[in-house]
Amino acid sequence: MTEANLLKNGDFTEGEKYWRAVAGEGQIATVENGHARIGRGGQLEQEVRTGLTVGKLYRVQGEFTSIDGGTGKLRILENGAVKEVDIDKSGTFSRDFIFERSSTEVLIALQSTTQERGEIHADNLTLVEQL
């Protein structure tokens, strides 16, 4: 049985729908050609407010491509606690976490750590309960 993806539009087929771009001047945080594109400190994020159960194990996962040496982080923020995985090359990256707090949401963020040249492209992001 395949568990439901708690992220909406994780394949970016609906553009930036459900995603919030956080980008200052010169930063990159957008969706183009069916994938997320972040660079120069930009961030795309989505709040997940339904489907999470305290004490359950979840996995957030996605396919990432490093362009021109771009680096980033896949971040999980819950009540001020941060769990993350570094993205420093192309490939599939994932992070497991237990929803430990009685908060009402989790923030999933794609963040660029490249300040100059280079980008991270992301696609097929999922947030799924692990059985």
Query: pLDDT for 47-86, tens place per residue?
Result: 998 889 889 999 999 999 999 999 999 999 988 889 999 9
Asked if 36 and 123 touch (Cβ cutoff 8 Å), the reply is yes
Task: Kindly indicate the confidence band of residue 102, based on its pLDDT and cuts at 50, 70 and 90.
Answer: low
Q: In whole angstroms, how large is the CA radius of gyration of the chain?
A: 14
Asked if 7 and 108 touch (Cβ cutoff 8 Å), the reply is yes
Q: Is residue 15 part of a domain?
A: no
Q: Is residue 25 part of a domain?
A: yes
Asked if 84 and 45 touch (Cβ cutoff 8 Å), the reply is no
Q: How many domains does the chain have?
A: 1
Q: Is residue 110 part of a domain?
A: yes
Q: Is residue 43 part of a domain?
A: yes
User: Residue 87 above 60 pLDDT?
Assistant: yes
- Across 4-117, where does the E strand assignment appear? 20-22, 28-32, 35-39, 43-48, 57-67, 72-78, 81-87, 91-98, 106-112
Whole-structure pTM value: 0.91
pLDDT score, position 127: 96
